[in-house]
Amino acid sequence: MTLLARYLVLVAATLAVAGVAVAMPSVGLGPRQPTNWSAITTFIFFVGATLWMTRLATARSRSSADFYSPGGGISGFQNGLAIAGDYMSAASFLGISGLVFVSGFDGLIFSIGWLVGWPVITFLMAERLRNLGKFTFADVAAYRFSQKPVRSLAALGSLLVVLFYLIAQMVGAGQLVKILFGLEYAYAVIMVGIVMMMYVLLGGMTSTTWVMINKAVLLLAGTTLMALAVLFGVGFNPDALFSRATDLHVLKDALMAPGGLIKDPVSAVSVGLALMFGTAGLPHILMRFFTVANAREARKSVAWATLWIGYFYVLTFIIGFGAIVSLVANPGPYFIGGKVANGLQGGANMAAIHLASALGGDLFLGFIAAVAFTTILAVVAGLTLSGASAVSHDLYATVLRKGAATSEEERRVSKLTTFSLGLVAVVLGIVFEHQNVAFMVMLAFSIACSANFPVLFMAVLWRDCTTRGATIGGFLGLFSALLLTVLSPVVWESVLGNPAGSALFPYASPAIVSMPLAFLAIWGISLLDRSPQACRERALFQDQLIRSETGIGASAPRSH
């Protein structure tokens, strides 16, 4: 069967799932929405266009290097757009606007927290990652250390971050397609899972990168149109927008004050740590520095990405307040209950989608919904590819096969992992249906800042860091973050259904405990490590430092 024939079969299977889901009766997962054929037509057009882009890029993805990283063939400007596209996910577009719609001012902490993480990447990570790595951030973390323990830690940390991130994307996609197609939520999530696996299995990083660039341009254009339409309605006067939103919202004056979402200073600091430093530990973002030719292009990537992301987050804040003004003033078509927080069709995550309908009718709704769906799909594909590369490249090829695996074997393991991650993402997306997607992504950032970032930071910048310190400290940060997340109100009460106030860890984010714990463990255990292996690792630091700063030897990454 030709590649094009396989695409046609997969597209037909996806549409068949949608058709069957539309025809099936309700199974109690919430009210179904009327099928919006104008929006569906736009959706099919965008999905078809991005699939065709994947088809063209697939022809260039012939080896494991092409599958993980498109051979350094992406410019800094292109990669900046791709990074922005990867970062501007469902959590950003749907989640932040939804948080602002519900809580007002406090929603800004998420956009600011995610944005200020980029200077950390700019000055500490981007150049060094490009010079030291090849496919995954584990190549960097394990440069002078024993491969098996460090790559095992990196792979496990990557998989957990990817899973939490995937939950948020699948929840956003499920609610979006539920409204767009009139599907049951579960069937919507299944459809997204099928299409997501199509992207990754048939394209790899090359096709995913170009899909990211395409959807970044579309998303920036769509959100700009929405923000301009909102500001036009108030005479381009932000004060008028905020005043009207305050008058309409159930929180009244509290809408513009802190404390509606983050209740105490400790929680604010913990969430801020997770959002800021977690950015520098996200495996699917760090992978993108291996798609450019050199360290200079890596720095340019971060500069462009920061520009687009900062601009985008300003727009989401305007969109959130615009949703209050437009939807609350005309609640009939959009609400199933009387409360702003829980009465919106599809939940607060759908505030931006309903705003598009209120501003421009079905045609604009179809465009924004299609852009949002493409956004989610591309981010999910990038996440899945990151998790698949952690298993195939770090665990299978390096740890299990000790570098003896062929390119074809790596790709086969990667595709099997992709399929498995897709299934898990669908199941978890259904389980976490009612969670705010921005808040769910914050949990992924908590794990990234507790396990991945401390190991990367200390391994690259501290001479005395050793395998033993990095591994024990990393695992301690990982498991403490995971345990405290489960014991937090977000999971213990909201997901597991335990009584309110029964959570054993009182804060939403564990970062204020787990990240310092990881750093202290890495520091203390490395200082106490006097083994011959630790002495050799310290001696290799100068070689690592020269390469990380100059790029000498970067075209042929070190192997052990």
Quick one: pLDDT at residue 35?
Answer: 63
Identity (one letter) of the amino acid at 177?
V
pLDDT at 63 over 60: no
Residue 511's pLDDT band (cuts 50, 70, 90): very high
CA dihedral angle for residue 359, residue 361, residue 367, residue 369, rounded to 10 degrees: 80
- Is 390 inside any structural domain? yes
Q: Which two tokens stand for residue 529?
A: 């490590």
Interval 465-492 mean pLDDT:
92
Please tell me what DSSP assigns to residue 35: P
Quick one: pLDDT at residue 340?
Answer: 52
- Is 556 inside any structural domain? no
The alpha carbon dihedral of 20, 25, 30, 32 has a sign of positive
Q: Which domain does 401 fall in, by range?
A: 3-25+64-445
Point out which residues pair with 247 in neighbouring strands: none
Query: Hunting for tokens 């990982």 — which residue is that?
Result: 478
Quick one: pLDDT at residue 464?
Answer: 95
Which of 439, 446, 443, 468 is closest to 515 using CA atoms?
446
Beta-carbon-side half-sphere exposure of residue 479 (alpha carbons within 13 Å): 6
Residue 538's pLDDT band (cuts 50, 70, 90): very high
The more confidently predicted of residues 235 and 254 is: 235
* The three-state (H, E, C) secondary structure of 259-274, written as one string: CCCCCCHHHHHHHHHH
The more confidently predicted of residues 129 and 43 is: 129
Quick one: pLDDT at residue 556?
Answer: 44
Q: Which two tokens stand for residue 490?
A: 């977000």
pLDDT at 129 over 50: yes
Quick one: pLDDT at residue 481?
Answer: 94
- Is 522 inside any structural domain? no
User: Residues 102, 105, 252, CA angle at the centre, nearest 5°?
Assistant: 65
320 CA to centre of own chain: 20
Please tell me what DSSP assigns to residue 47: H
Quick one: pLDDT at residue 470?
Answer: 95
Give the phi and the psi of residue 116 in degrees, each rounded to 5. Answer: -75, -5
Identity (one letter) of the amino acid at 241?
L
Domain count, the chain: 1
Tell me the average pLDDT of the chain.
Answer: 79
What is the DSSP annotation of 436-500? Answer: -HHHHHHHHHHHIIIIIHHHHHHHHH-TT--HHHHHHHHHHHHHHHHHHHHTSIIIIITTT-PPT
Highest mean pLDDT among 3-12, 59-68, 530-539, 545-554: 530-539
The more confidently predicted of residues 372 and 485 is: 485
The more confidently predicted of residues 55 and 395 is: 395
Distance, in Å, from the CA atom of 24 to the CA atom of 260, rounded to the nearest integer, reads: 40
Distance, in Å, from the CA atom of 356 to the CA atom of 352, rounded to the nearest integer, reads: 6
Interval 198-202 mean pLDDT:
66
User: Residues 254, 255, 260, CA angle at the centre, nearest 5°?
Assistant: 75
Spell out the residues 6+ positions from residue 535 whose beta carbon is closer than 8 angstroms to its own: none
Burial of 516 by CB count in 10 Å (0-12 exposed, 13-18 middle, 19+ buried)? Answer: middle
Residue 541's pLDDT band (cuts 50, 70, 90): very high
Please tell me what DSSP assigns to residue 59: T
Quick one: pLDDT at residue 332?
Answer: 65
CB 180 within 8 A of CB 373: yes
* The three-state (H, E, C) secondary structure of 86-131, written as one string: HHCCHHHHHHHHHHHHHHHHHHHHHHHHHHCHHHHHHHHHHHHHHH
| Rg for the chain, CA atoms, rounded | 23
The total of other beta-carbon atoms located within 10 Å of residue 170's CB is 32
The more confidently predicted of residues 343 and 236 is: 236
CB 344 within 8 A of CB 352: no
Which of 139, 127, 88 is closest to 111 using CA atoms?
88
Distance, in Å, from the CA atom of 223 to the CA atom of 202, rounded to the nearest integer, reads: 30
The total of other beta-carbon atoms located within 10 Å of residue 439's CB is 20
Distance, in Å, from the CA atom of 190 to the CA atom of 196, rounded to the nearest integer, reads: 10
Query: Hunting for tokens 């998790």 — which residue is that?
Result: 387
Residue-wise pLDDT for 236-288, tens only, equals: 999 999 999 999 888 888 888 887 778 788 988 998 899 889 988 888 787 77
Distance, in Å, from the CA atom of 211 to the CA atom of 195, rounded to the nearest integer, reads: 13
Give the phi and the psi of residue 344 in degrees, each rounded to 5. Answer: -75, 140
- Is 274 inside any structural domain? yes
Distance, in Å, from the CA atom of 70 to the CA atom of 288, rounded to the nearest integer, reads: 10
Burial of 477 by CB count in 10 Å (0-12 exposed, 13-18 middle, 19+ buried)? Answer: buried
- Is 256 inside any structural domain? yes
Largest distance between two CA atoms of the chain: 72
Distance, in Å, from the CA atom of 504 to the CA atom of 431, rounded to the nearest integer, reads: 22
CATH of the domain at 241: 1.20.1730.10
Q: Which two tokens stand for residue 270?
A: 């913990």
Identity (one letter) of the amino acid at 358?
A
- Is 452 inside any structural domain? no
Residue-wise pLDDT for 409-432, tens only, equals: 877 888 788 888 888 888 888 888
CB 161 within 8 A of CB 474: no
Quick one: pLDDT at residue 28?
Answer: 36
Distance, in Å, from the CA atom of 43 to the CA atom of 288, rounded to the nearest integer, reads: 27
Residue-wise pLDDT for 279-320, tens only, equals: 888 887 877 777 777 778 878 888 898 899 999 999 999 999
* The three-state (H, E, C) secondary structure of 294-359, written as one string: CHHHHHHHHHHHHHHHHHHHHHHHHHHHHHHHHHHHCCCCCECCCCCCCCECCCHHHHHHHHHHHH
Distance, in Å, from the CA atom of 495 to the CA atom of 227, rounded to the nearest integer, reads: 33
Which of 351, 399, 490, 439 is closest to 146 using CA atoms?
399
CB 137 within 8 A of CB 396: no
pLDDT at 471 over 90: yes
Lowest mean pLDDT among 311-320, 333-342, 377-386: 333-342
- Is 32 inside any structural domain? no
- Is 421 inside any structural domain? yes
